[in-house]
Amino acid sequence: MEILGYSERGVINALFYDLLSSPKSKQLNLISYLLSKAIFINKKEKFNISCCQVFIEQSFSDFGDSDVLLLVENNGKKQAIFLEAKVKTYNRNKWHLDDEFNKFLSAKVKPITIPTSNLFTQLYFKNRLWYELKNNNGIKLDEGIKFINTTKSWRKIGKNKIVLKAVDYLKGYIDESFYLGIIPNTQNEIDIFIKKDFIPSQSKLKKNLTNWNNTNWGFLAWEDIHKFCKNNGLINTRNVFDFNFYKDEKNQNKSKGQIYN
């Protein structure tokens, strides 16, 4: 039997079930190695994970669903790692990280609406959730947390018992947190974006957003995940990547598709 998933959700599911199917002696080393490929804003991070729980598509009500939440023990700390995945869809030639960021940035200058499907919004929402748990034990989650300094934009955790159960799990992992965008860009493009766009915008973000903090924000390239799967025998995930690609009819030496070019 073969299972082929569609787009980012298909790859994410295949990846973590492939990791789960790996020999137990290798599982945590593989996750540590993969996360160590991430490019962070302010530093380089090496992971040495000794324990891990994986939550896929976990809802946090007004704070949004998390594509992946990893609760890990890493280098002696209990950490939460939020991952949000974006792909270059079939109808687009390219997914632009700077465009995504500019949409997020402009919405904060004139905050009529919050672009909730935006990569940076999704990671920021998770950061605000974790910050509230760490600093206030989640006391204000029921009444609502303000996001934008100039509006009455409040978000609450709600009453769903499964969501609240996930929050209780998260409360046990507040030594440190990480926020990773899994994106179609190359490492070189990510480096350029960080220096050219992200870092120079920090003062504006701090002014417009409540408790904005870019500590431990970073990016992981789909291309690196694809190579990781090929090099480490994660066959099911590799097959899902292959399914989401097709040969360019004009240039058979090039592949296009649903994840990255």
- Which helix (H) or strand (E) segment holds residue 243: the answer is helix 235-243
Q: In angstroms, how far apart are the furthest CA atoms of the chain?
A: 58
Could you tell me the residue ranges of all domains in the chain? 7-257
pLDDT score, position 153: 63
The number of beta carbons lying within 10 Å of the beta carbon of residue 79 is 19
Average confidence (pLDDT) over 88-109 = 84
Contacting residues for 187 by C-beta, under 8 A, at least 6 apart: 39, 221, 224
pLDDT score, position 257: 83
Average confidence (pLDDT) over 126-155 = 84
Q: Across all residues in the chain, what is the average pLDDT?
A: 91
Can you tell me whether residue 22 is helix, strand or coil?
Answer: coil
- By the 10 Å C-beta count (0-12 exposed, 13-18 middle, 19+ buried), 170 is classed as buried
Instruction: Note whether 153 and 111 are within 8 A (CB).
Output: yes
pLDDT score, position 34: 97
**DSSP state, 216?**
T
Can you tell me whether residue 20 is helix, strand or coil?
Answer: helix
Contacting residues for 57 by C-beta, under 8 A, at least 6 apart: 9, 65, 66, 67
Q: Which comes out higher in pLDDT, residue 78 or 206?
A: 78
The 10s digit of each residue's pLDDT in 32-72 is 999 999 999 988 889 999 999 999 999 999 999 999 999 99
The side-by-side arrangement of strands in the sheet containing 77-85 is: 39-40, 217-221, 176-183, 77-85, 65-74, 49-59
